[in-house]
Amino acid sequence: MKHTRQNHQQPQQPQQVLTYAPPAHLEAEQSVLGAILVRPEVLDTMADMLRPEDFYREAHGLIYRAMLNLYGRSEPVDLVTVSARLREKGKLDEVGGAVFLAGLSEEVGFATNAGYYARLVSDKAVLRRMIDATQEIASGCLAPVENVPEFMDRAEQKVFDVVHAGRGGDGAMATLADLAKANWNHLETLFYQSKEDSGLLTGFYDYDRFTAGLHPGELTVLAARPGMGKTALALNIAWNVGQAEPVAFFSMEMDKARQLITRMVAQAGRIDGDNLRRCKLTQAEWAQRGQVQVALEDAKIWIDDTPGLTPLQLRARCRRLKARQNLALVIVDYLQLMRAPGMRGREDEIREIAYSLKEISKELGVPVLAAAQVNRDIEKRSGNRYQLSDLRESGAIEQASDNVLFLYRGKEDVVAKMDLAKQRNGRVGFFELAYSAQFCRFDNLMRGGAL
């Protein structure tokens, strides 16, 4: 007898469709509108905090837009005028009619809580915009992407735009009297604590005395001929700042991280650089190397040695570090080794790079220190005095920068001449630093046993 095998098919499960309700707080939206109808003067605050598109329910947005129109024309904002404005635009029935408007003034809890209700509406709007931004980014990922770095920059910018634009009303105007009082309190505190009003101190006293440190939103250019010590000085500053504040150090030369660490160890431990590179250390130097290792692991310094970064790539990496570590300083070594694809010529490329670094400093609210090469014209002049026009390849470096610091020393010199040739918000002048080739290290110059 032949047995036939029966196939028992499992019934197909109905396909699940994932749905979600966008973030919204309809009661808060109605409370905001009701508060305005009860106390129209709250629009003095609401107009700066909320936009019509912040309301999830379209009818609420239409009503609020009508209120803003009346407010902008200095007309009364009440049930009668808002109804008339909506009727004039043919939108009264669309929002629910005069009966719905009348009910809004009854729905409000306390008109004095209007600011709290508005914040609830604004927060939900931010979340909805974040959903829209991430969905747009996801859709873009599925479409053909010709330039991935540019796409990534646009994607990050969308998220940053939502974050920074989503807190309307946080800023506020202040009277001169209020600002003057706050300034006086600040100066009084500094005076009695014997402190200075400064930015991010570099650890080099004469420079900090001239500039009060490195300031958020400013681009500082450290310029010199090759071999003068630009990288060494930039590393010195990174080390000094990085003991307390996060620093991003971008080296544009390939596989430079190990060399930078070696230099940093030599500087921090005052260990002979040649001995360190050859690992021919004395017992004392080896012990000192161990102490420096502990300091290195505690330092808040991030090193990126990706060659020829573009401004888009550098901005994206700084944004991420700023979000994760509250980045305090960006150092670029050096500017002319960056690349800006799509520019017509080298001068346009350098202009794009210089202004992009300035934009990064403003966008992230951090100082940017960029090393730069100068041309050989100084060798034809007496006195070895740099000029701003010596900045190689583009006058845009001078234009984009807030501060320009020139470095010069002879090959055997133990004293480096520093020329602060430009300071947008202060005076210019000269100072000197001690230089030790053995340690690749700059120090404050000792004069007569004192700084």
Give me the catalytic one of 253, 285, 359, 363.
253
pTM over the 0.95 mark: no
Instruction: Please name which of 88, 31, 77, 39 lies closest in space to residue 57, comparing C-alpha atoms.
Output: 31
CATH architecture of 26-132: Orthogonal Bundle (1.10)
Q: Domain-by-domain residue ranges, the chain?
A: 26-132, 205-444
253 is catalytic: yes
CATH architecture of 205-444: 3-Layer(aba) Sandwich (3.40)
Burial class (CB in 10 A: 0-12, 13-18, 19+), 60: buried
pLDDT digits (tens, 9 = 90+) for 273-313: 666 766 776 677 777 777 777 777 778 888 888 887 878 77
Instruction: Please name which of 43, 31, 250 lies closest in space to residue 121, comparing C-alpha atoms.
Output: 31
Residue 275: its pLDDT value, please? 67
Same fold, 26-132 and 205-444: no
pLDDT digits (tens, 9 = 90+) for 309-363: 878 778 878 887 887 888 999 999 888 888 877 677 788 888 888 888 998 898 8
Query: Three-state SS across 169-235?
Result: CCCCCCCHHHHHHHHHHHHHHHHHCCCCCCCECCCCHHHHHHHCCECCCCEEEEEECCCCCHHHHHH
User: CA torsion sign, 267 to 271 to 273 to 276?
Assistant: negative
Residue ranges of the chain whose pLDDT lies below 70? 1-20, 48, 72, 107-111, 163-179, 181-183, 185-198, 254-255, 273-275, 277-278, 281-282, 342, 376-384, 392-394, 446-451
